[in-house]
Chains A and B, each alone.
Chain A
Amino acid sequence: MTELLLELFSEEIPARMQAGAARDLERLMVEALSDRGLLFEGIKAFSGPRRLTLAIAGLPAKQKDVREELKGPKVDAPAAAIDGFLKKTRLTREQLKVESTPKGDVYMALIEREGRDAAAVLAEIIPEVMGKLPWPKSMRWKPGVSTRWVRPLHSILATFDGEVVPFSFAGVSSGNHTRGHRFLSEGRIEARRFEDYEAALKKAHVILDTEERAAIIFEGVKSAAFVHGLELIPDEGLLAEVSGLAEWPVVYVGSIEDQFMEVPPEILQTSMRTHQKYFALRDPKTGRMANKFGLVANMIAADGGKEIVAGNERVLRARLSDAKFFWDEDRKRTLESRVHDLKGIVYYEEYTYWHKVDSIATKASIIAAEIGADPSKAKRASRLSKADLTSGLVGEFPELQGLMGRYFALNDKEEKEVADAIRDHYKPQGPSDGIPESDVGASVALADKLSTLYWLFHEGERPTGSKDPYALRRAALGVVRIILEKKYRFGLKWFLDLGWYGALTASTEGDKEKTESDLLEFIVDRLKVALKGKGIRHDLIDAVFSLGNEDDLVRLVTRVEALQAFLKTDDGKNLLAGYKRAANILKVEEKKDGRTYISEVDEKLLPESADKALHAALAKAVGAIGSALDREDFAGAMREMAALRGPVDSFFEAVKVNADDPKLRENRLHLLAGLRAALQRVADFSKIEG
C-alpha cells in the first residue's frame, strides 16, 4: 500500500498550539489532495514538543487520466477570443477541431491530461500546505528568507512509498531523517515508513502520539499517588498542556513543606498549576489536599530523578513562600479597607472598579428586592465584591479573584452569605460552571454582568467575530442562565432599565434607548444559543419574542416549548399549513386591494356551513386562547389552537375564498384575517420556518 509519511521537525512548539497545528495540517492536506484528485484510505496527524507528523495511507501512485472536450469560441470570433481559448487550453489552432452547431461553426478542444505521479504532485502540495498552516504566531529566522514557521524548522522528513518526496520549504530540503529526544538519544534517525518511524522514535525516547503521552502521565501520576495512599485531583487542562511539554514523560513525586499546608488549598493548587504545572494530590478518605505533588519531567535522569525532584521542590518552596507571604499580608487588612483602593484600578477608560462596585451595589439591591433576597446583604456583598483585586494574592493569581474575596470576608467576620456571594458573583464562568448558589449571590452576579454589558454597550463596544475582549457574550449568557435556572420572574426590559443606575456619563434618552434595545437583541441572541443546546428552535423563540409583549424569559421559554411540542403534532402541522395558506392569500389580496383585512366578519354573509363553522370556532378560540395565556397555561392555549385545525381544513376544502361575489370574497378574507389574529396571540406564525 502506498503511504505518505511527513514529519516537520522544529525547535520547541508552544504546547497550546500543537493540537491545533496537527488538525490544520491534516485539514489542509486533505483539501489539497482532493483538489488534485488524489483520494486516500486513511490519515492521521500527530503533534508534540518538536514535531508535527502526518501519515496518509492508501494513496494512489498516480492521478487518474483526464479526458474532456471543451467548447470554444465561434470560428469567426475575434482573434483575441480565439487566442484566449488557445492560451487556456494550451493548444495550437491546428489542434482544435471544428464542429457545426445550429449557431454556426465553433472550435472544440479535446483535452487529454495524463495523470501525474502522486510523488510529483505531493512535492508541490506539501510546501504549499506548509505555507498555509495558520500558526497563531509565527516567525522568520533565516537571513533573507521571509517564510514563517512557529519556531525555526530544522528538518523535513517526507517519503512516499518509501522514497523521499523532494521539495524544500524555508530553505530546508526534505529528506528521510529526523532526530529523537533532545537528551536521551543521539544522532539522526532514518525512516521511510510510518511503522518504522514510530518504532524508531520510541527507541529514541520520543512518544509520537499525544494521547499516549497523556495516558502515560495520567496513569503515572495515579499510580505514584496510590503508592502514597493518595489520589490525583483530575485536571484535564493541565494534562493536555503537560502532554505537550515532554516527548518522553516521566512522573516523579515531590513533597510540599508542612508550613504551607495551612494556606488555602486553592492557592496551593493554583500556584502549583500556573507556575510549575504540577498535579495536586489528595487524601481519598478526607478529600483534603495532600502534601505531595506529581511532576512530569522530560527526562530519565541518571540519578533516578533525585536532583530533579529536589530542584522542583526548591522552586515550589520559593513559589509557596511568596503565596504564603501574600496570604499572611493580605489578611492584615480588611476587605472594607480595600474598597477605596479600587479607585486606582481602571476598568474601562476612565471608569475604575470603584465606580463598578458602586454601580453593582445599586442594581444588586433592587434585583434582590425583586427576587426576594435580602437587599442589604446583596449591597454589602457588592461593595466588597471586587476588593480582593487589590490583594497581593489576586495580583499574583488573577484566577483566584472572588475565591480569595470569600476567604478574606470570612476572615473579617462578614456574614457567610455575603462571603459566598463574593465568591459566586463571577459565576457562571463557562458552560461547565454552575450558577451562584444563593439568591444574594445571584443578585450580585446579575448586577455585575448587567453593569458590564450596559457600560460597554453604551460606550459602543460590541463583540465582533471571534473577538470579545470584555467577555460580553459570556456575561449575557450568564444573565440568561441565572434567570432561567433560578426561574426568576421579571421582565428583561425591567432588568435592562436598571442598567443606567449608577452609570457614569449622563446619557441622553436616545442613548439609553439605543443601548437597551441593542442589549435586548444581544441577550435574546444568547438565549437562542443557550436553548439551541436543548434542541429548542431559534425561529420559535423569534416567533414568540417578536410579539413584543413577552420578555419574561422563564415564561418565554415555557411558551416556546409548548409551541414546539404542538408543532410536532398533526394538528400543529396542519394548522401551521393552514395559517401559511391563509397568510399567503391575505398577502396577495391585501396588496391587490390596497387594504388590510381585520376580521370584521359580517355574520349574515356566511353561506356555507364551513364558513359558519370556522367563524364559530374562531369566536370561541380567541377568548379561550386569551384566558389560557393569562393563566400561563400554554398547553391549554395550544389545545385551543388545535381545535381550530378541523374548521380551517374544512374551510379550505369546501369554499373558494376569492368568491365571484365581491361582498362574499371580502367577508371570507376577513374570516382568514380572524384566523391570523387568533394565532398571533400565541406567536408570530409568519416567523416560523417550514
Chain B
Amino acid sequence: MPKAKTFQDLILTLQNYWARQGCLILQPYDNEMGAGTFHPATTLRALGPRPWNAAYVQPSRRPTDGRYGENPNRLQHYYQYQVILKPAPENVQELYLGSVREIGLDPNLHDIRFVEDDWESPTLGAAGLGWEVWCDGMEITQFTYFQQVGGFDCDPVSAEITYGLERLAMYVQNVEFVYDLAFNEQFRYGEVFHQSEVEFSAYNFERADTEMLFRHFKDAEKQCQELLSGNRKLALPAYDQCIKASHAFNLLQARGVISVTERAAYIGRVRALAQACCQAWLDSDMGKYTPRYG
C-alpha cells in the first residue's frame, strides 16, 4: 500500500525523506518561473566551490502548456519537487531510489529504469547529463548531473533530482485525470486548481497584455543590466530581474507574438542576463556567512 496516499502526503514524504538525508528544506521562490532549476537555490548555488544540499517544492509556470483544464495531465501551473546535492554523492542513485521506496513504489514490484535524457536550458546557459527515470514505462523523475550553468563549468558537479509531483501522484494514486487527484483526504486537486487553470489559460493565450509584457521584458532586462554594472554588483536582485524577463518571454510566446527568428534572439537575451548574474555570483561571497556572536 502506498504511503503517499494524497498529493500533500507525497510532498510531506519527500520533505521528510530529504530532510533526513541532510538537505535544507527550503521554500518556493517568490517569483514566477518555468522550473525549479530557476530557483537561485539551484541556479546560483550550483556554481562555485561551496557544498550545498537543498530540497524544495517549486510552483512552475509554463504558459504554453495551458489547456483550459481539459487535458488529463497538462498544466500551465504545476509543482516540481527539486533536490540539489552538491557535490553529487557517490550513492546518489541509491539515495534517489530510497525516496521512491519511501513514497510507496517498491522496486521489487515495479520496473524502474534510468533512460538517457540529457538536460539543457538555453535560457540559463545550463546543461547536464543524466536520465529520465522510468517506473513501468512512466517517466517519474528527471535526474541530472550539472556540467554547466550560465556558461560556467560546475566544479564540483551537482546532482539535480526533479520530480513532477502531479504526474507522480497520478501514478501512485492510480488516477487518470489530474484534477481528480486527492490533494488531501478532503479536497481534490481540481478544487484547488481547476478554475485557476481555466482562467490562466485564457490569460496566457488571449488576454495577457502583450504591450505590457514587452515593456516588462525590457524593463527587467534594463534593471538587471544596471544592477550588474559599476563597482557594486548585486547578483541576487539582478537574478530576480532575469527570472522576470524569462517569464515575460514565456507569456509572450504563449500569446503567439514572437516569431521563430525573434524567439532565438529573446532566448539569447535572457541567457546573456543569466550569464552575467552567474558571473556576479561567482565574483561575490557566494553566501558565505560567519556567525556574528559565535
Binding site for B on A (CB under 8 A): 11-12, 14-16, 137-144, 150-152, 154, 183, 245-246, 276-278, 295, 297-299, 301-303, 307-308, 310-312, 314-318, 321, 344-346, 349-350
Residue in A140, A314, A316 whose beta carbon sits within 8 Å of that of B147 in the complex:
A140
Asked if A139 contacts B147 (CB within 8 A), the reply is yes
Asked if B147 contacts A143 (CB within 8 A), the reply is no
From known contacts A14-B116, A16-B116, infer whether A308 and B107 are also in contact, taking CB-CB under 8 Å. no
Asked if B87 contacts A350 (CB within 8 A), the reply is no
Contacts of B176 in A (CB 8 A): 314, 317-318
Q: B128-136, B202-210, B286-294: which lies at the A interface?
A: B128-136
Interface membership of B112, Cβ < 8 A:
yes
Interface membership of B215, Cβ < 8 A:
no
Interface membership of B110, Cβ < 8 A:
yes
Contacts of B156 in A (CB 8 A): 142-144
Asked if B157 contacts A308 (CB within 8 A), the reply is no
Residue in B73, B115, B118, B145 whose beta carbon sits within 8 Å of that of A318 in the complex:
B73
Contacts of A303 in B (CB 8 A): 109
Asked if A307 contacts B110 (CB within 8 A), the reply is yes
Per-residue A-contact encoding for B148-187, CB less than 8 Å = 1, 0 else: 0000010111000000000000010010100000000000
Residue in B88, B108, B138, B147 whose beta carbon sits within 8 Å of that of A315 in the complex:
B138
Interface membership of B137, Cβ < 8 A:
yes
Asked if B114 contacts A11 (CB within 8 A), the reply is yes
Closest to A17 in B: B116
From known contacts A143-B155, A302-B108, A315-B137, infer whether A346 and B261 are also in contact, taking CB-CB under 8 Å. yes
Contacts of A315 in B (CB 8 A): 136-138
Q: Interface size for chain B: under 10, 10 to 19, 20 to 34, or 35 or more residues? A: 35 or more
The distance in angstroms between the C-alpha atoms of A152 and B128, with both chains bound, is 13
Closest to B109 in A: A307
Binding site for A on B (CB under 8 A): 72-73, 87-88, 90, 93, 107-116, 118, 128-129, 131, 135-138, 145, 147, 153, 155-157, 171, 174, 176, 259-261
Asked if A301 contacts B108 (CB within 8 A), the reply is yes
Residue in A298, A314, A346 whose beta carbon sits within 8 Å of that of B113 in the complex:
A298
Asked if B137 contacts A316 (CB within 8 A), the reply is yes
Asked if B155 contacts A245 (CB within 8 A), the reply is no
From known contacts A14-B116, A299-B111, A346-B260, infer whether A276 and B137 are also in contact, taking CB-CB under 8 Å. yes
Asked if B87 contacts A301 (CB within 8 A), the reply is no
In the complex, the 3 A-B pairs of residues with the closest C-beta atoms, listed nearest first: A311-B136, A14-B116, A143-B156
Residue in A15, A16, A140, A321 whose beta carbon sits within 8 Å of that of B157 in the complex:
A140
A642 to chain B, nearest CB (A): 61
The distance in angstroms between the C-alpha atoms of A460 and B131, with both chains bound, is 38
Asked if A137 contacts B118 (CB within 8 A), the reply is yes
Closest to A13 in B: B116
Residue in B73, B131, B171, B259 whose beta carbon sits within 8 Å of that of A311 in the complex:
B171
Closest to B157 in A: A141
Asked if B111 contacts A15 (CB within 8 A), the reply is no
Contacts of A307 in B (CB 8 A): 109-110, 136
Contacts of A312 in B (CB 8 A): 111, 136-137
Asked if B115 contacts A245 (CB within 8 A), the reply is yes
Asked if A299 contacts B110 (CB within 8 A), the reply is yes
Contacts of A346 in B (CB 8 A): 260-261
The distance in angstroms between the C-alpha atoms of A317 and B157, with both chains bound, is 38
A15 to chain B, nearest CB (A): 7
Contacts of A137 in B (CB 8 A): 118, 129
B200 to chain A, nearest CB (A): 21
The distance in angstroms between the C-alpha atoms of A138 and B157, with both chains bound, is 13
What would 6 more interface pairs be, CB under 8 Å, given A301-B110, A308-B136?
Answer: A12-B131, A139-B145, A142-B157, A302-B109, A311-B137, A349-B261
Asked if A297 contacts B111 (CB within 8 A), the reply is yes
From known contacts A311-B135, A315-B138, A318-B176, infer whether A152 and B145 are also in contact, taking CB-CB under 8 Å. yes
Contacts of B112 in A (CB 8 A): 183, 299
Contacts of B145 in A (CB 8 A): 139, 141, 151-152
Asked if A308 contacts B129 (CB within 8 A), the reply is no
Contacts of B153 in A (CB 8 A): 140
From known contacts A11-B93, A137-B118, A311-B138, infer whether A183 and B155 are also in contact, taking CB-CB under 8 Å. no
B113 to chain A, nearest CB (A): 6
The distance in angstroms between the C-alpha atoms of A143 and B145, with both chains bound, is 12
Contacts of B135 in A (CB 8 A): 311
Closest to B115 in A: A245
Asked if B137 contacts A245 (CB within 8 A), the reply is no
The distance in angstroms between the C-alpha atoms of A11 and B128, with both chains bound, is 15
A349 to chain B, nearest CB (A): 8
Closest to A325 in B: B71
The distance in angstroms between the C-alpha atoms of A575 and B153, with both chains bound, is 67
Contacts of A297 in B (CB 8 A): 111, 136
A604 to chain B, nearest CB (A): 77
Contacts of A140 in B (CB 8 A): 147, 153, 155, 157
Closest to B128 in A: A139
Asked if B261 contacts A308 (CB within 8 A), the reply is no
From known contacts A14-B116, A245-B115, A346-B261, infer whether A139 and B129 are also in contact, taking CB-CB under 8 Å. yes
The distance in angstroms between the C-alpha atoms of A316 and B134, with both chains bound, is 13
B156 to chain A, nearest CB (A): 4
Asked if A298 contacts B147 (CB within 8 A), the reply is no
From known contacts A139-B145, A276-B137, A315-B136, infer whether A301 and B116 are also in contact, taking CB-CB under 8 Å. no
The distance in angstroms between the C-alpha atoms of A411 and B73, with both chains bound, is 29
Contacts of B93 in A (CB 8 A): 11
Contacts of B260 in A (CB 8 A): 344-346
Asked if A311 contacts B113 (CB within 8 A), the reply is no
Asked if A12 contacts B114 (CB within 8 A), the reply is yes
The distance in angstroms between the C-alpha atoms of A11 and B93, with both chains bound, is 8
B74 to chain A, nearest CB (A): 9
Contacts of B107 in A (CB 8 A): 183, 299
A97 to chain B, nearest CB (A): 54
B85 to chain A, nearest CB (A): 12
B50 to chain A, nearest CB (A): 11
Asked if B116 contacts A308 (CB within 8 A), the reply is no
The distance in angstroms between the C-alpha atoms of A151 and B87, with both chains bound, is 15
Asked if B137 contacts A295 (CB within 8 A), the reply is yes
A250 to chain B, nearest CB (A): 8
* 25 A-B residue pairings within 8 Å (CB atoms): A12-B113, A12-B115, A137-B129, A139-B129, A139-B145, A140-B153, A141-B157, A142-B157, A144-B155, A144-B156, A152-B90, A152-B145, A183-B107, A183-B108, A245-B113, A245-B115, A297-B111, A298-B111, A299-B107, A299-B111, A302-B109, A308-B136, A312-B137, A315-B136, A315-B137
From known contacts A15-B116, A152-B145, infer whether A311 and B110 are also in contact, taking CB-CB under 8 Å. yes
From known contacts A314-B176, A321-B72, infer whether A308 and B155 are also in contact, taking CB-CB under 8 Å. no
Contacts of A317 in B (CB 8 A): 176
Closest to B129 in A: A139
The distance in angstroms between the C-alpha atoms of A477 and B90, with both chains bound, is 49
Contacts of A321 in B (CB 8 A): 72
Closest to A278 in B: B137
Closest to B260 in A: A346
A542 to chain B, nearest CB (A): 43
The distance in angstroms between the C-alpha atoms of A552 and B87, with both chains bound, is 65
Contacts of A144 in B (CB 8 A): 155-156
The distance in angstroms between the C-alpha atoms of A337 and B62, with both chains bound, is 29
Asked if A143 contacts B113 (CB within 8 A), the reply is no
The distance in angstroms between the C-alpha atoms of A298 and B115, with both chains bound, is 12
Contacts of B261 in A (CB 8 A): 346, 349-350
The distance in angstroms between the C-alpha atoms of A315 and B93, with both chains bound, is 24
B41 to chain A, nearest CB (A): 20
Contacts of B108 in A (CB 8 A): 183, 299, 301-302
The distance in angstroms between the C-alpha atoms of A245 and B117, with both chains bound, is 13
The distance in angstroms between the C-alpha atoms of A350 and B116, with both chains bound, is 34
The distance in angstroms between the C-alpha atoms of A303 and B145, with both chains bound, is 34
Contacts of A16 in B (CB 8 A): 116
Contacts of A345 in B (CB 8 A): 260
Asked if A141 contacts B137 (CB within 8 A), the reply is no
Closest to B159 in A: A141
Asked if B111 contacts A143 (CB within 8 A), the reply is no
Closest to B91 in A: A154
